[in-house]
Amino acid sequence: MMVSFFDQFASPLYLGIPLIAIAITLPWVLYPTPSSRWINNRLITVQGWLINRFTNQLMQPLNMGGHKWALLLVSLMIFLITINMLGLLPYTFTPTTQLSLNMGFAVPLWLATVIIGMRNQPTVALGHLLPEGTPIPLIPVLIIIETISLFIRPLALGVRLTANLTAGHLLIQLIATAVFVLLPMMPTVAILTATVLFLLTLLEVAVAMIQAYVFVLLLSLYLQENV
Per-residue pLDDT at 6? 65
Query: What's the predicted TM-score (pTM) here?
Result: 0.83
CB atoms under 10 Å from CB of 191, counted, come to 12
Cβ atoms 26, 95 nearer than 8 A: no
- Helices 99-120 and 70-86: crossing angle in degrees, nearest 10, is 170
Compute the distance between CA of residue 194 and CA of residue 209 in angstroms, rounded to an integer.
Answer: 23
Instruction: Read off the pLDDT of residues 153-205 as tens digits, 9 standing for 90 and up.
Output: 999 999 999 999 988 888 888 898 889 888 888 889 889 999 999 999 999 99
Q: Which amino acid is at 41?
A: N
Nearest to 173 by CA among 113, 87, 57: 87
In order, the DSSP letters of 35-73 are PS-SS--HHHHHHHHHHHHHHHHHHTTS-GGGGGGHHHH
C-alpha distances in angstroms, 33 versus 30, 70, 78, 84?
Answer: 9, 19, 14, 21
Residue 72: which residues within 8 A CB-CB, separation 6 or more? 109
% pLDDT > 90, the chain: 23
Query: Where do the domains of the chain lie?
Result: 1-30+61-226
CB atoms under 10 Å from CB of 96, counted, come to 25
pLDDT tens track of the chain, all 227 residues? 445 666 666 777 777 777 777 778 777 777 777 667 777 777 778 878 888 888 888 888 777 777 888 888 888 988 899 899 888 888 888 888 888 889 999 999 999 999 988 888 888 777 777 777 778 887 888 888 888 988 999 999 999 999 999 888 888 888 988 898 888 888 898 899 999 999 999 999 999 999 999 999 999 888 888 87
Per-residue pLDDT at 159? 92
